[in-house]
């Protein structure tokens, strides 16, 4: 039974990372989380209708992946689920890199920086300002979880545990 331990533990970690991200994606624009977010600023910037649309787009695909992962539990994931997880989390990571880290680290975007200042200017951040941006703590946690998820999916695939 010892040979099942890495698969079970890593699959549990994968589901935990997915659950964290799905909860954050669904709730971070709506539910006050102290200094981690500012839902009033989000509604003021985007309006209710646009925010609903954004929430659906940024949450549904990863909710499907989480539901699939929970459905199969420790049983082998079918090929469609592995593909779904790979594609959806690579898209999420690419979007996070483009929206936050590219303008923060590489190419300034003054319009994005001003928009983010209005939406996230009153939230907690621990990174220094750079190019007019300051990634807030909640987004850093979310993006770190996404990067870990992609890394874990990669490890599971290449180590043969993705079965």
**pLDDT-derived band at 7, boundaries 50, 70, 90:** confident
Residue whose pair of structure tokens reads 């200017």 in the numeric block:
121
Q: With CA atoms as reference, report the closest residue to 150 among 85, 104, 102.
A: 85
Two tokens, residue 34: 């102290």
- Please say whether the beta carbons of 23 and 141 come within 8 A: no
pLDDT at 163 (0 to 100): 58
**pLDDT-derived band at 21, boundaries 50, 70, 90:** very high
Residue 79's H or E segment, with its range, is helix 79-96
Two tokens, residue 8: 């079970």
pTM: 0.91
pLDDT at 2 (0 to 100): 40
What are the CA-CA distances from residue 11 to residues 37, 113, 149, 163 (Å)? Answer: 30, 37, 11, 11
Question: In the chain, pLDDT over 70 holds for what percent of residues?
Answer: 94
Cα-based angle 116, 117, 119 (whole degrees, multiple of 5):
60
Over residues 50-72, the pLDDT tens digits come to 999 999 999 999 999 999 999 99
Q: Longest C-alpha distance within the chain, in Å?
A: 56
Q: Of the given ranges (40-54, 57-71, 72-86), which has the lowest mean pLDDT? A: 72-86
What are the CA-CA distances from residue 125 to residues 19, 137, 149 (Å)? Answer: 23, 5, 23
Distance between first and last Cα of the chain: 16
């Amino acid at each position: 039974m010892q040979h099942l331990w890495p698969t079970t533990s890593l699959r549990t970690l994968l589901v935990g990372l997915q659950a964290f991200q799905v909860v954050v994606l669904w709730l971070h624009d709506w539910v006050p989380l102290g200094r981690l977010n500012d839902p009033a600023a989000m509604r003021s910037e985007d309006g209710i209708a646009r925010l609903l649309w954004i929430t659906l787009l940024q949450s549904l695909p990863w909710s499907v992946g989480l539901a699939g992962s929970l459905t199969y539990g420790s049983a082998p994931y079918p090929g469609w689920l592995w593909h779904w997880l790979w594609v959806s989390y690579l898209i999420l990571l690419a979007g996070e890199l483009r929206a936050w880290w590219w303008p923060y680290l590489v190419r300034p975007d003054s319009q994005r920086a001003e928009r983010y200042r209005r939406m996230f200017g009153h939230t907690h951040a621990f990174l220094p300002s750079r190019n007019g941006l300051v990634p807030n703590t909640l987004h850093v946690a979310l993006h770190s979880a996404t990067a870990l998820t992609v890394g874990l999916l990669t490890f599971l695939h290449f180590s043969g545990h993705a079965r």
